[in-house]
Amino acid sequence: MKTTAEGEVVGLCRDLLRIDTTNTGDPRTTVGERAAAEYVAEKLAEVGVESKLLESAPKRANLIARIPGADRSRGALLVHGHLDVVPADASEWSVPPFAGEEKDGYLWGRGAVDMKDFDAMVLAVVREWKRVGYTPPRDIVLAYTADEEAGMEYGSQWLVTNHASEFEGCTEAIGEVGGYSYTVNDDLRLYLVQTAEKGLDWLRLHATGRPGHGSFIHDDNAVTALAEAVARVGRHRFPTIVTPTVRAFLEQVSDALEIELDPDQPELAVAKLGPIANVIGATLRNTANPTRLEAGYKDNVIPGRASATIDCRTLPGHADAFLRELRDVIGPDIEIEHMHQQSAVETAFDGDLVDAMGAALRAEDPGARTVPYLMSGGTDAKAFATLGIRCFGFAPLRLPPDLNFSALFHGIDERVPVEGLKFGVRVLDRLLRNS
């Protein structure tokens, strides 16, 4: 029987799920993405596509390949997916997390939706093209990255810093997280396309005071000062701000659902959205959540210094205003140290590529309607956007109406519907042929 992309995508995804690429965040215990990158390289080589493995550290391999298009003067399209996965505790799962088992219409395993499903779809489509001798309209650059799940230092960030020339000419990119369906009714499914990501700022607050004995009267206690500041930050509600992406999202969703959504009352509007409210709620404002506390070394000693970590997420274009507001909340006496920062990214939901996404989805699902959204977390798009590439989250999947998809990301019993994978291959093939 003739091999097709649709026919082999499940097998490719299963093979990838069986390669443990757990990224613990600690280089000493991270397995490394090398074996998965070698697998992808071998599957590409089988059909005559040459690729490069670029290692940022031992076993932390990234793969790059360029497929020449018919019109090489056009900007290239970057198609990217990460190969690492977050850890899985097998005792919590109903199947072994790295066995790639298929049952009940799903393919199960850590990485099934984040994001070896898309990795496999891309591989399946490219392999079919090469088997039939198809040339895409413009250059396509494939990037399979390491370390997306732990800060991108060994993956996309390292690639854009050390191998930017590999992305020369890339004007647009597709990757995670978007393109999946949210069922409104039998005739209408919204496909959320990510066009923006919040920025990230991990801050450490330091309070200093006079060290002393725990039995004395003491009016300059670093722990007290820090605790007060942390409590103020934790309780502070930053104002709602409707960014262009969120405004477009609300307008299009209200139109699609035929409900009144007032963009000037964003919280009321989002509460009407049911299951997708939790995806969108965090995109209405900047947030600052205290996550760690550190002070003292003995029960009866007042330390001279106390520290706390705050996980801040900022809306596109609002990082500076956020920091001024945060400084007011914290007060002048606490030192702020920036541990790790990534800028927000945002691109408009327009252009030929966006039109092609909608057309590709509608061809396979007449009830499809694309909607842009802002993501509260981060992906490799943050790194690629620094090269001036317009980044979209579009890894197409048609999902069963009752599946709680967002809970599967980093979740127990992560799994992808087999029919969804095949649907994704058909949509991706159409999109790439018409982009």
Residue numbers of the site for Zn ion (CB under 5 A)? 114-115, 176
Q: Which CB, 129 or 384, lies closer to Zn ion?
A: 384
Distance CA 180, CA 287 (A): 26
Nearer to Zn ion, 351 or 377 (CB): 377
Of the pair 134, 409, the CB lying nearest Zn ion is at 409
Helices (H) and strands (E) in the chain, counts: 12, 19
CB of 54 to Zn ion, least distance (A): 20
Nearest distance from residue 61's CB to Zn ion, in Å? 17
In a 3-state reduction of DSSP, which class is residue 188?
strand
Say if residues 81 and 119 touch (Cβ distance below 8 Å).
yes
CA distance 44 to 38: 10
Single-letter code of the amino acid located at 286: N
Three-state secondary structure readout of 112-125: CCCCHHHHHHHHHH
Q: With respect to Zn ion, which residue has the nearer C-beta, 146 or 334?
A: 146
List C-alpha distances in Å: 158 to 11, 86, 269, 411.
30, 19, 40, 27
Q: What is the CA radius of gyration of the chain?
A: 23
Contact partners, residue 8, CB within 8 Å, separation at least 6: 124, 127
Distance CA 116, CA 85 (A): 9
**CB of 366 vs Zn ion, minimal distance in Å:** 29
Nearer to Zn ion, 6 or 176 (CB): 176
Q: Smallest distance, Å, CB 202 to Zn ion?
A: 19
The smaller minimum CB distance to Zn ion, of residues 172 and 176, is found at 176
Residue with smallest beta-carbon separation from Zn ion: 114
Distance CA 399, CA 105 (A): 12
Q: Compute the least distance from the CB of residue 31 to Zn ion, in Å.
A: 17
Q: Which residue, 63 or 225, is less far from Zn ion as judged by CB?
A: 63
Tokens at residue 249, please? Answer: 């999202």
The nearer residue to Zn ion, 142 or 233, going by C-beta atoms, is 142
The nearest distance, CB 155 to Zn ion, in angstroms, is 11
Give SS3 for 64.
strand
* Number of C-beta neighbours around residue 318 at 10 A: 18
Between 114 and 128, CB nearer to Zn ion: 114
Q: How far is the CB of 84 from Zn ion (least distance, A)?
A: 9
Min separation Cβ 32 and Zn ion, Å: 17
Contacts of 81 (CB under 8 A, 6+ apart): 115, 116, 118, 119, 122, 143, 144, 145, 175, 176, 395
